[in-house]
Chains A and B, each alone.
Chain A
Amino acid sequence: MHEMSIAMSIVDAVVANAEKEGGVRISGVELLVGKLAGIEAESLKFCFSAATKGTLAEGAALVIEEPEGIGECGECGMRFPVTFYYAECPKCRSLRITIVSGEEFKIQSITIEEEGE
């Protein structure tokens, strides 16, 4: 269950950033989790709500964007969608595929609420 420790590190990072920006509450967090990043988005959502308890991010809406995997063939250079690491080039059947997209794992943005007055 690495999603829990990851959720906790996300909470640490967003809370640190929100405090620095003078936010009193975090109402939204946007993540970019590529489909090949090795992270289960559903599991992460579950852990995130648990990890935010008692922090500035409690109750924050979590939005996860999941970019598709894209592979590039080392033989013919063709780019094509991949769902896993063991892809085969649809054009030349080569297995020398390099993943060029889908491994992203980033905190894109946070939305903070600022004190009134």
Chain B
Amino acid sequence: MCDTCGCSGDGGAVLRKPGESDYHVHVNPGAEKHLHPHADGEHRDHDHFPEEHHDCDYMHDHDGGHHYHEGGSRKIVLEQDVLQQNNLLAERNRGYFEARNIFALNFLSSPGSGKTSLLEKIIPLLQQRIPVAVIEGDQQTTNDADRIHALGVPVIQINTGSGCHLDALMVNRAVKELDIRDNSLLCIENVGNLVCPALFDLGEALKVVIISVTEGDDKPLKYPTMFHEADLCILNKIDLLPYVEFDVAKCRENAMRVNHHLEWFEVSATTGEGLAQWQQWLEKRLLHH
């Protein structure tokens, strides 16, 4: 049972807003469960291989056993994408963003590589010209959303509870609760995790993977799925390069081996170094996405 509202919504993700301690919304997967593939009007044909309908020898071997399958067993070919439910909802999010000219970025990294710090630095540079909104994903707390809230931009926190990634349903709900203006930039900060979030499309325009120089320069090789899925990679904390053993060229080469389409930026959220180049790139993409 939920401690805050006493409802039975247990275990699922919860939306929270900074400064509004009473506000919380449960993301209940049950509500979207009946979003069938047929909802988009497409009729999925099932191939009923008639020759396989009663191809069930073992059913005759039971004497006095459970004859629950007396009617026979039947194989149904589905060829359905496992992530179909998520992908359909992600496409709905994408359509909503496109219609309102919202440029959505999905920020992915290990915990502690500086996603929130980077947003804290880049948002003030951008928001004079472009409205910005933020969705924060963490297992618990509104700490990150509080930091973004201090910048004066609309923000909502998704607490995934035991969940290791954001999914399209959580973003769908969060967007409904968030006041996003047309023609804006939406930053979605995923749960800090270099593995699971790579699989879940949220409806974003681009995936941004962040690594920092305090991690290993072989990270792209150790977590290739994430780097393969990403559109741009930002190397953060370059102000610490004199103090750590981190080969920037090597790291970049490793990242490019996994994904030769990857855009590459080197920044320091602390000193602001390199942020101008990234800002320039973002502003260009905001005009022509």
Show the binding face of A for B, using Cβ within 8 Å: 1-2, 5-6, 9-10, 12-14, 16-18, 21, 23-25, 27-28, 31, 36, 38-39, 74, 84-86, 95-96, 99, 105-117
Q: Are B46 and A21 in contact (CB under 8 A)?
A: yes
Select which of B76, B82, B198 is within 8 A of A109 by beta carbon: B76
Q: Which of B96-104, B114-122, B251-259 contacts A (4 or more CB under 8 A)?
A: B251-259
> Nearest Cβ in chain A — how far from B75, in angstroms?
5
Q: How far, in whole Å, are A24 and B72 apart by their CA atoms in the complex?
A: 11
Cβ–Cβ < 8 Å partners of A31 in chain B = 82
Chain A residues closer than 8 Å to B75, beta-carbon distance: 28, 109-111
At the interface, yes or no: B181 with Cβ under 8 Å from chain A?
Answer: no
Check A27/B76 contact, CB under 8 A, given A12-B33, A95-B256: no
Give me 28 A-to-B residue pairs in the complex whose CB atoms sit less than 8 angstroms apart, sorted by A's number: A2-B195, A2-B196, A6-B82, A9-B85, A13-B82, A16-B36, A21-B46, A21-B76, A25-B68, A27-B69, A27-B73, A86-B220, A86-B221, A86-B224, A99-B228, A106-B81, A106-B82, A107-B78, A108-B77, A110-B76, A111-B73, A112-B76, A113-B68, A113-B72, A113-B73, A114-B69, A116-B69, A117-B70
Residues of A within 8 A of B289 (CB): none
Compute how far the CA of A25 lies from the CA of B67 in the bound complex, rounded to whole angstroms: 12
Please tell me if the beta carbons of B81 and A105 are within 8 angstroms of each other in the complex: yes
Determine if B82 and A9 form an interchain contact, defined as CB atoms under 8 angstroms apart.
yes
Q: How far, in whole Å, are A96 and B72 apart by their CA atoms in the complex?
A: 51
Instruction: Say whether, besides A2-B195, A114-B72, A13 and B67 are in contact (CB < 8 Å).
Output: no
Chain B interface category by residue count: 35 or more
Q: Which of B72-97 contact A (CB under 8 A)?
A: 72-86
- Set of chain A residues within 8 Å of B73, measured between Cβ atoms: 27, 111-114
Chain A interface helix/strand/loop/mixed? mixed
A85 touches B69 (CB 8 A): no
One of B68, B69, B198 near A38 (C-beta < 8 A): B198
Determine how close the nearest CB of chain B comes to the CB of A96; give it in whole angstroms.
Answer: 5
Interface of B is mostly: mixed
Q: Which chain B residue has the least Cβ–Cβ distance from A23?
A: B74
B79 touches A108 (CB 8 A): yes
**Within 8 Å CB of A6, what residues of B?**
82-83, 199
* Chain B residues closer than 8 Å to A9, beta-carbon distance: 82-83, 85-86
Contacts of B77 in A (CB 8 A): 108-109
B165 at the binding interface (Cβ < 8 Å)? yes
Q: Which residues of B contact A2 (CB under 8 A)?
A: 164-165, 195-196, 199-200
Is there contact, CB below 8 Å, between A86 and B164? no
B71 close to A (CB within 8 Å) = yes
A12, A25, A38 — which one has the most chain B CB atoms within 10 A of its CB? A38
B225 at the interface (CB under 8 A from A): yes
Task: Give 1 or 0 for each of B220-257: 1 = CB within 8 Å of chain A CB.
Answer: 11001101100000000000000000000000001011
Q: In the bound complex, how far is the Cα of B75 from the Cα of A96, in angstroms?
A: 41
Shortest beta-carbon distance from B209 to chain A in Å: 13
**Interfacial chain B residues near A113, Cβ < 8 Å:** 68-69, 71-73
